[in-house]
Structure 1
Amino acid sequence: MLKNVKHKTLMLGVNMVCITGFLFTLMNTQANQSYSETRKDRTLLSLTKRTINKSKSTQLAYTRNILMETSYPIVLTQPYKINNEGICRRVPKITCIVMVHTSLNHFERRRNIRKTFNSTYYNPNIIRVVFLLGLTNNSTLQTIIEYESLVHQDIVQGYFMDTYHNLTNKGVMGLKWITEHCRNAEFVAKIDDDVFINFYKIFESLKFIKEVKKYLACNRLEADTNPIQRGINDKWYVHRDVFKGFNFYPYTSCSGLAVFISIDLVPLLYKAALISPFFWVDDFYLFGMLPAKIHGVVHYEINANISFNHRRTFNCFSKYGDKCELLAGITDPDINPTKIRIW
């Protein structure tokens, strides 16, 4: 028994060293922080250490089994695990609130987005970012996420597992959160965390979206042209009993890489989710099924200005700079500095 106690104590010490090392690394990346912000980070580090010291109770909180595909509509009935409800309250009006679908361990991607979306670059336009996350069974990772939230105050986490098949839950949570906490935004952008957005061109080419109603500007997918994937090994596999008898998705929708939404449409989409059955393919659910329940929604086509090839994205901005025709484009997820190099 004594040997087991020593072993557990040793493992806890190793975990503490690893976590503390990560947190100090995270703090050191904030090179442009003021002295007061640095003191704030140190205070938060102290709080996080105290949280880690309660590791036994923290681990017990995440031992329950949670299904990979959560019963829907859990985000409509559950509170937030983490809710930074003040993201949009610091200014009377926000030009764009960007909701980012991100994975728990994508720390570097979130760091790069925070750098490139700094509102001072786009004055007088004001940008705010909210990162949408689900749960993890890893109590150490959860502690680090909570620390990141305390430092940056831009994370919202729901009570569903952060898995690929729960992206619909994540998207609906974003609609719910904006409806509740960010109605002072002029329009909304939904992106994935490997996407680069050219806000200079967006504020020029898509400024009309602040005035129109019920608008989605996106890579438009026409009804009855987007095939439903039925192969068991397909990335977006849909069982034959779902949309039975259909070979193509029956509604006009959007590719979810980058979608720009008029602010009036967000609460309408959220209300539509209250009466819509769960469907795990989030792009079609959020931007096809839900808009189909709302009269008069416009899917405005910007297909030519969206890049799904990271080489095209990089080459366009490298060669043409702010004259590049792209509004948004995917970047190489395996090369973390890509967004910064493009910027």
Structure 2
Amino acid sequence: MAWCCRRWRRVLICLCMPCCCLVFMYIFLAVLITMSMTSVTITQSFNEPTTSHFAAPGASGNDSVAPVPKTFWEQHLPDDAVWNKLQRSTDNHFNSILYPSKAKKVSERISFNDTLLKQTFSNIMSLERVKKNLEKLPREIKRFITNMQKRDYPVLIRPRRVCGAQAKHETQPPLILLAIKSRELNFKNRKAIRETWGQEGWVQGQKINSSDKQLVGGYVRRVFLLGKESSADLGVDITDVLRKENLRFGDILQWDFKDTFFNLTLKDVLFWNWFSSHCGQTHFILKGDDDVFVNTPKLITYLHNQLNKPQVSGTLENFMIGDVILAAQPNRDKRSKYFIPPSFYKGVYPVYAGGGGVVYSGLLARRLLNISQTVHLFPIDDVYVGMCMVLLNSHPLHHPAFLTFDISEKEEDEPCSYHSILLVHKRTPEQLVALWTDMEKTREQCKDAPLRDT
């Protein structure tokens, strides 16, 4: 009987073993297929963005990451959008999912350096398809790209004092530094500014409206920002003339880079660096062109009002005011100096303040310097500042008293029209002097003229 049981057991084992092996093999294959499909899904989730814009750190909704908004440059772009490819390559290093240790609180980190910009520039520019597309770009854009990763230019001329032209015995921290973009041959512009709205030292404020009871004032400093123009282009070497001008007025800051329209962005970045090292206590900066007219007395009063607001320290970290431009598109007209071809940049511009004249805090200038180390240079300076502001999660405030697109003809003839503004663009040196003289004559008559309302 026992012998019979053992015989049947051997038969059952011989019959069942192949079936069990087949079952186990099917289970194993099913697990492999499931894991493979999951891997593909995960890979796609990293490589294929779920939105049409690249999500900058903080957009993921994770409370541990700083609240930085989505970038304005699009993710799905043609291969020939050179700037977008460069910036996207840089942005990817701050993706809060791929690089959590780097991305955490990006906008609040103490310091960056430009190593990452140089690395991504080298990587993207070495691609063959990018090299081919570069040949199709306009000459000025190609020149810009050649040097866009360079930011370390030596200073040729420095202001006589630490932070520009200033009063000899300042008894208070300076309220504002007038940082004016100029060019070597614009002697008349600089002279007119020094004689009118750009005088350094103590400046008395003026009432903004009839409710202002106490007149205030503040110390003003001044510096002109210049690049270098070649003697061949100018037909003369004016280096010695500029040095003598600086010896007399002490307000020239010149770097050794070619002073072109597309290099105005360099002036911003280099100025932020210089300001952060030399102008520790300065509250505000007016950055403008040398063809703007500024109502300095009313600007002094306006800025004092900002300092007197509650929780001012938090406000000043993001303070920028001017003529704000929304949803601007790149200029595609080849005849325009603002021309940006689609092969270089694709997408809309961020919100930005017109570069003719804008006011921002010294605290913000230092933050802009820091975040600019993560943003590739862009040929249009005010747009570039807007790009940096986006990554700081800050937005410029619009004020109708900043007229970067001029004043209407009707208002031009009104006696107190210039007493109601803070800044107007596009004035010749002769017009600056005439406007200032007229404002001095009508100051008493227009003392109650209100500032243009926000």
Report how far residue 174 of structure 1 moved: 1.6
In structure 2, the residue matched to 1:215 is 319
In structure 2, the residue matched to 1:315 is 412
Tell me, yes or no, if structure 1 residue 131 matches structure 2 residue 228: no
Report how far residue 299 of structure 1 moved: 1.3
Tell me, yes or no, if structure 1 residue 227 matches structure 2 residue 329: yes
Deviation string 1:204-247 (CA, Å, 9 cap, x unpaired) is: 2343444332111011112xx21211222122111212332x2x
Paired with 1:282 and 1:303, the residues of 2 have a C-alpha distance of 21
Deviation string 1:25-71 (CA, Å, 9 cap, x unpaired) is: xxxxxxxxxxxxxxxxxxxxxxxxxxxxxxxxxxxxxxxxxx96361
Alpha-carbon spacing, 1:133–1:73, altered in 2? closer, same or farther (3 Å): farther
Q: How does 1:272-291 map to 2 (within 5 A)?
A: 272-286=371-385, 288-291=386-389
Report how far residue 161 of structure 1 moved: 0.6
Paired with 2:180 and 2:410, the residues of 1 have a C-alpha distance of 19
Report how far residue 82 of structure 1 moved: 1.3
Paired with 2:182 and 2:321, the residues of 1 have a C-alpha distance of 21
Tell me, yes or no, if structure 1 residue 203 matches structure 2 residue 300: yes
> Are the aligned partners of 2:264 and 2:380 in contact in 1 as well (CA < 8 Å)?
yes
Q: Secondary structure at the match of 1:133?
A: strand
> Are the aligned partners of 2:293 and 2:427 in contact in 1 as well (CA < 8 Å)?
no
Q: How does 1:245-264 map to 2 (within 5 A)?
A: 246=347, 248-249=348-349, 251-264=350-363
> Are the aligned partners of 1:74 and 1:159 in contact in 2 as well (CA < 8 Å)?
no
Alpha-carbon spacing, 1:229–1:81, altered in 2? closer, same or farther (3 Å): same
Tell me, yes or no, if structure 1 residue 340 matches structure 2 residue 433: yes
Paired with 2:229 and 2:163, the residues of 1 have a C-alpha distance of 23
Q: Structure 2 residue aligned with 1:158, among 246, 250, 255?
A: 255
Paired with 1:201 and 1:313, the residues of 2 have a C-alpha distance of 22
Q: How does 1:34-183 map to 2 (within 5 A)?
A: 69=144, 71-75=147-151, 77-84=152-159, 86-87=162-163, 91=170, 93-116=173-196, 117-118=198-199, 119-122=201-204, 124-138=217-231, 140-183=237-280
> Are the aligned partners of 1:80 and 1:157 in contact in 2 as well (CA < 8 Å)?
yes
What is the one-letter code of the residue matched to 1:218?
G
Question: Which structure dedicates a bigger proportion of its chain to strand?
Answer: 1
What count of residue pairs does the alignment treat as equivalent? 265
% identical equivalent positions? 22
> Are the aligned partners of 1:217 and 1:302 in contact in 2 as well (CA < 8 Å)?
yes
TM-score (norm 2): 0.54
Deviation string 1:70-110 (CA, Å, 9 cap, x unpaired) is: 613433x2331112252358535101001101111110110
> Are the aligned partners of 2:203 and 2:220 in contact in 1 as well (CA < 8 Å)?
no
TM-score (norm 1): 0.71
What is the one-letter code of the residue matched to 2:245?
E
- 5+ residue gaps in structure 2? 1-141, 206-216, 437-454
- 5+ residue gaps in structure 1? 1-66
> Are the aligned partners of 1:209 and 1:215 in contact in 2 as well (CA < 8 Å)?
no
In structure 2, the residue matched to 1:38 is none
Question: How large is the RMSD of aligned CA atoms in angstroms?
Answer: 2.4
